[in-house]
């Protein structure tokens, strides 16, 4: 694979041009482009430029309405509801964001759900954004089914990631925990498939229930939950919040995030924000003490520290990207 170096601004502009060329509105494309840039900035290639050709295809085929206008309502003081109107998740989340944050500050806690939605990118970035507002954030998003229950073969839930963002009391995040119900993100298997590399043992089973190292067979079969039944339980927790509570379709009924078949996925998200000041006077001190107890143990890595290191490096040096992928995206722009 031949690589080239791009600035983060160039990554964002490339995505913006590709999506507007595909038919997305400027505002919708800008929200997705920023999310793509943030993924590349933090070294999360599986959620970065790799997804841009898929996004563009989905706008063109109507799986995503690139010109959707999200509708925001607030049925209760602490409840913000956003209908993404089968458009991208990112502008839908942005549409309800200010009302959501204001409700959390006013009430001490608030939730925002999004339905008729789509892939929301790196869920940890939304949790970090809540933390930067001085709030404690819990973010969940479900996805088309890719995980079967332990002992089964038919996927019922998605990788269903969740993220926790804890504020540091100074306008930043003290800790961002971002993980999925599966051993690894499905986008990582998709990346391996595109690059012709085998997946790792214990990541997935094929459609017959047998262990596999073939990413193509894994995409036809089932990903494995992290920690067996415990990981599946985490996925169910996310499913209840991001699908059932949000009023989105169940993972088992959602069309895939890859490929053009099936129409809009109509998935959902659920974000919850707590104002620590409404509950405790010592929150920031307690979080700082907890983080120090983890970080001060030699080679122990704090969750998210790898992303932070990649962020500092890529902000300074630019990001290394697949030149062939960039050429494909440039073709989409034309």
Domains and CATH numbers, the chain: 1-61+304-334 (1.10.1530.10), 69-182+225-303 (3.30.1370.60)
Give the per-residue pLDDT at 52.
97
197: burial class by Cβ within 10 Å (0-12, 13-18, 19+)?
exposed
Nearest by Cα to 329 from 38, 20, 119, 41: 20
Residues labelled as active-site residues? 46-47, 188
Give the per-residue pLDDT at 47.
92
Q: Which residues are registered as beta bridge partners of 73?
A: 81
Give the per-residue pLDDT at 188.
83
Give the per-residue pLDDT at 259.
84
Q: Which residues are registered as beta bridge partners of 163?
A: 139, 178
Distance of CA 276 to the CA centre of its chain: 25
Give the per-residue pLDDT at 258.
83
Q: Which pair of structure tokens corresponds to residue 156?
A: 């019922």
Give the per-residue pLDDT at 102.
98
User: Mind listing the pLDDT tens digit of every residue in the chain (334 residues)?
Assistant: 799 999 999 999 999 999 999 999 999 999 999 999 999 999 999 899 999 999 999 999 999 999 999 999 999 999 999 999 999 999 999 999 999 999 999 999 999 999 999 999 999 999 999 999 999 999 999 999 999 998 888 899 999 999 999 999 999 999 999 999 988 878 788 888 888 899 999 999 998 889 999 999 998 889 999 989 999 999 999 999 999 999 999 999 999 998 888 999 999 999 999 999 999 999 999 999 999 999 999 888 899 999 999 999 999 999 999 999 999 999 999 8
Q: Which pair of structure tokens corresponds to residue 307?
A: 């992303």
Which runs of E-coded beta strand occur in 199-302? 204-205, 222-223, 267-274
Give the per-residue pLDDT at 332.
94
Give the per-residue pLDDT at 261.
87
Give the per-residue pLDDT at 153.
84
pTM more than 0.75: yes
Give the per-residue pLDDT at 184.
85
Q: Which residues are registered as beta bridge partners of 179?
A: 162
State the residue for tokens 């939304």.
126
Give the per-residue pLDDT at 1.
73
Burial pattern 34-66, b for ≥16 Cβ within 10 A else e, equals: bbbbbbbbbbbbbbbbbbbbbbbbbbbeebbbb
Give the per-residue pLDDT at 179.
93
């Amino acid at each position: 694979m031949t690589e080239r170096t791009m600035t983060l601004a160039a990554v964002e502009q490339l995505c913006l041009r590709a999506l507007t060329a595909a038919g997305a509105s400027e505002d919708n494309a800008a929200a997705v482009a920023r999310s793509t840039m943030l993924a590349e900035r933090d070294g999360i290639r599986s959620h970065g430029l790799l997804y841009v050709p898929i996004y563009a295809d989905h706008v063109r085929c109507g799986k995503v309405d690139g010109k959707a206008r999200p509708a925001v309502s607030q049925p209760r003081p602490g409840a913000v509801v956003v209908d993404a109107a089968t458009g991208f998740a990112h502008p839908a989340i942005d549409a309800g964001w200010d009302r959501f944050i204001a409700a959390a500050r006013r009430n001490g806690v608030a939730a925002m759900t999004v339905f008729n939605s789509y892939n929301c990118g790196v869920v940890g970035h939304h949790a970090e954004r809540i933390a930067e507002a001085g709030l404690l954030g819990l973010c969940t998003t479900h996805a088309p089914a890719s995980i079967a229950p332990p002992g089964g073969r038919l996927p019922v839930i998605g990788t269903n990631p969740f993220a926790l963002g804890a504020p540091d009391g100074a306008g930043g995040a003290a800790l961002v925990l971002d993980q999925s119900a599966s051993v690894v993100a499905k986008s990582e298997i998709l990346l391996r498939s595109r690059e012709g590399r085998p997946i790792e043992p214990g990541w997935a089973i094929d459609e017959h229930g047998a262990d596999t190292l073939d990413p193509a067979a894994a995409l036809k079969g089932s990903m494995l939950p992290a920690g067996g039944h415990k990981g599946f339980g985490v996925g169910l927790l996310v499913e209840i919040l991001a699908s059932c509570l949000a009023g989105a379709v169940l993972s088992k009924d959602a069309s895939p995030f890859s490929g053009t078949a099936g129409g809009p996925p109509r998935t959902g998200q659920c974000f919850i924000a707590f104002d620590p000041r409404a509950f405790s006077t010592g929150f920031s001190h307690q979080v700082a003490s907890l983080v120090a107890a983890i970080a001060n143990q030699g080679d122990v890595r704090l969750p998210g520290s790898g992303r932070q290191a990649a962020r500092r490096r890529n902000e300074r040096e630019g990001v290394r990207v697949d030149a062939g992928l960039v050429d494909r995206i440039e073709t989409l722009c034309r």
